[in-house]
A and B are shown apart, each in its own frame.
Chain A
């Protein structure tokens, strides 16, 4: 069965700092990759997705992620975080031949200090 690892459970940054959240998955076949965000008191929202093509994908609110197939990684980045980026971030993987289910990482809680 596939699994997804998010290396950092809690991250604290000051505003304007750069962000990189790690995500690694274990699955040998073709996958779709996602980052979801959950702001305080809100539901899960899609931040960005990778299906195919350019491995560097851009999402909403200035976020981007890079798919490195050889490393089974899909790390999330943002050059300069804002206080409003305080949220929990989830990486998710969907193997193309695994019945459309998403497998989520454990999540990373990001706190941005003003």
Chain B
């Protein structure tokens, strides 16, 4: 069974640009989560999508946004990039998120903002 996949592996952008990160969940999983792992800040919850809807959002500014497609894959968009957005962005998926299902993580996208 294929795990959670993310693309690209690495992304280099300039301050002020936009970044788009992609995630494909495990087959059968309808919930997708995004986390940021920044140096010194640890893993922080960003967004949760389930059945195409945003269900929860972490303490991040509105320039972090995303969507979930009908096939349950997801996209994270970061607008007006700032240097401190440099981090590893992890995507996770689970069965429907309304009850206690564990989250499975992908390998991440390393975003570097210069």
A: residues with CB less than 8 A from B are: 32, 34, 36, 42-46, 49, 51, 90, 92, 94, 96, 99-107
Contacts and interface: CB of A to CB of B under 8 A. Distances in A.
Contact of B105 (A32, A44, A100, A105): A44
B19 to A, nearest CB: 20
29 contacts: A32-B100, A34-B102, A36-B105, A43-B3, A43-B107, A44-B105, A45-B105, A46-B102, A46-B104, A49-B102, A90-B43, A94-B100, A99-B48, A100-B31, A100-B48, A100-B50, A100-B97, A100-B98, A101-B33, A101-B45, A101-B48, A101-B56, A101-B58, A102-B33, A104-B42, A104-B43, A105-B42, A107-B42, A107-B43
B43 to A, nearest CB: 4
Nearest to A51: B100
A100 to B, nearest CB: 4
A99 B48 CA distance: 8
Nearest to B40: A106
Nearest to A36: B105
Looking at chain B's contact residues, the main secondary structure is strand
Interface string B80-114: 00000000001000000110101111111000000
Interface residues of B, number: 24
A32, A51, A96, A101: residue with the most chain B Cβ atoms closer than 10 Å: A101
A83 B92 CA distance: 28
A45 B58 CA distance: 22
B44, B102, B108: residue with the most chain A Cβ atoms closer than 10 Å: B102
A45 B44 CA distance: 17
Nearest to B96: A100
B6 to A, nearest CB: 9
B55 interface: yes
Nearest to B57: A99
A34 B67 CA distance: 27
A96 B98 CA distance: 10
A42 B3 CA distance: 13
Contacts of A96: 100
A94 B43 CA distance: 13
